[in-house]
Amino acid sequence: MRRPKHRSIERLPKYRVTIYRRQPDYEWSTEPNMKAIFNSIDRLAKTGDLPDEELLALITTGDKEAVGRLSARAREVREKVYGRSVYIRGLIEFSSYCKNDCYYCGLRRSNRSAERYRLTPEDILSCCAQGFDLGFRTFVLQGGEDPFFIDERMTALVRQIKERFPECAVTLSLGERERESYQALFDAGADRYLLRHETADKEHYEKLHPAEMSYEHRMKCLRDLRGIGYQVGCGMMVGSPFQRPEHLLKDLRFLQSFRPEMVGIGPFIPQKDTPFGDRTSGGAGDTLLLLSIIRLLLPQVLLPATTALGTIDPMGREKGLQAGANVIMPNLSPVSVRKKYLLYDNKICTGEEAAECVQSLRDRVARAGYEIVVSRGDHPSRQ
Ligand code: SF4
């Protein structure tokens, strides 16, 4: 593809957006003037914002030099805020039951092939104890929307963890609940809550979820969590079915206005027993690009290099750190259940992403130029 000749920015017309086919629902790239796009990247790094048109041009750029510059700026900003520290969170996937039927998820209730399990409070506490010894100071309790875990059970569990590990943060990722429930969990000691918004476009949301789930309720949950005082995490899949660059632009605008403390993004990866089982995965490159943009839009945000990124690219998490991420979430779940928590196919669930291999993870992170630290790793606004 021929690159247009450089022209002065003043005389530059609007960005030219060229559409080409890449995969069924997600197929754009731009071919803008490179001088202008470098200028946009530097301005984004300096001011933390860009007009829609320029942000869209960044989201869709396929130019290696532009991506490299974006990544370098994101690293600079990340290092200014967090130095070279990488925070680790011990992920405990405690229930694979879910009452919902999201079209993209292997745990959806209609998936008869999914193996279901629930960990007992004793199992969970023993995961925490193992994690504590390995240097974890945050435990992330993640599960499907499992009606078994009513407030009484969850609050008792959170209290027990906080009593036994008072210097640790507890992050919950239990999906949508009512405000009273979030409040009760917060009062029991939970510090943070992860609830991916998945897409900030209502129409797109409705293509990813059945009619019984509502975009409005998802957004209300996020507002409730924020109002209660949690450190809140949201995020979206990259390359999900029907996603277009304008949706990602809306996601970024939503993140800017909501200002979550954490943002979790990962590539969409199909799971064969779901309605989207034959769809194409999102790209590692697109995910890395968005990590860099998010770091520049929200310099202080806690940004994980996710397991999904490590699944589609064996070096995905190291690349994520170099693109501006500063968090890794190794799996602390008992080995016997790891393969059963199959949100998507081929999820990495043994090896160096596992918490017990934390020393080899430390080495890998060190080779990428960073350092795993023993810390709760709160958002700077909460330290
Ligand atoms: S994405 Fe979450 S809520 Fe939806 S089916 Fe999967 S576990 Fe359940």
The 10s digit of each residue's pLDDT in 250-299 is 999 999 999 999 999 999 999 999 999 999 999 999 999 999 999 999 99
What is the model's pLDDT at position 352? Answer: 55
Spatial separation of the C-alpha atoms in residues 290 and 132, rounded to whole Å: 32
Rounded to an integer, the average pLDDT of 4-28 is: 36
Average confidence (pLDDT) over 233-242: 97
Which run of H or of E encompasses 93?
A: strand 90-95
Residue 8, pLDDT score: 32
What gap in Å lies between CA 362 and CA 41, rounded to an integer?
31
Give mean pLDDT, residues 59-70.
94
Torsion angle defined by CA atoms of residues 51, 52, 53 and 58, in that order, rounded to the nearest 10 degrees = 90
Distance 109 CA to ligand 1 centre (A): 8
28-30/17-19 β-pairing: antiparallel
Q: Which residues pair with 192 in a beta bridge?
A: 171, 231
Measuring from atom 4 of ligand 1, which residue has the nearest CA? 102
Question: What's the 175 CA to ligand 1 centre distance in angstroms?
Answer: 8
Please tell me if the CB atom of residue 195 comes closer than 6 angstroms to any atom of ligand 1. Answer: no
Cβ(364) to ligand 1 under 6 A?
no
pLDDT at 351: 55
Task: Give the pTM.
Answer: 0.89
Per-residue model confidence (pLDDT) at position 337:
78
Which domains does the chain possess?
Answer: 17-81 (no CATH), 83-376 (3.20.20.70)
- For 307-320, what is the mean pLDDT? 90
Q: Is the CB of 174 under 6 A from ligand 1?
A: no
pLDDT value of residue 308: 86
Spatial CA neighbour of 188 closest among 208, 164, 163: 163
Q: 350 falls in which pLDDT band (50, 70, 90)?
A: low
Q: CA separation (Å) from 78 to 75, 173, 234?
A: 5, 25, 19
Whether residue 15 has pLDDT greater than 60: no
Looking at residues 177-185, what average pLDDT do you find?
A: 98
176: Cβ below 6 Å to ligand 1? no
- Predicted confidence (pLDDT) per residue in 328-347, tens digit: 999 998 777 777 777 777 76
- The helix/strand/coil state of 350 is coil
Quote the ligand 1 centre to 192 CA distance (angstroms).
19
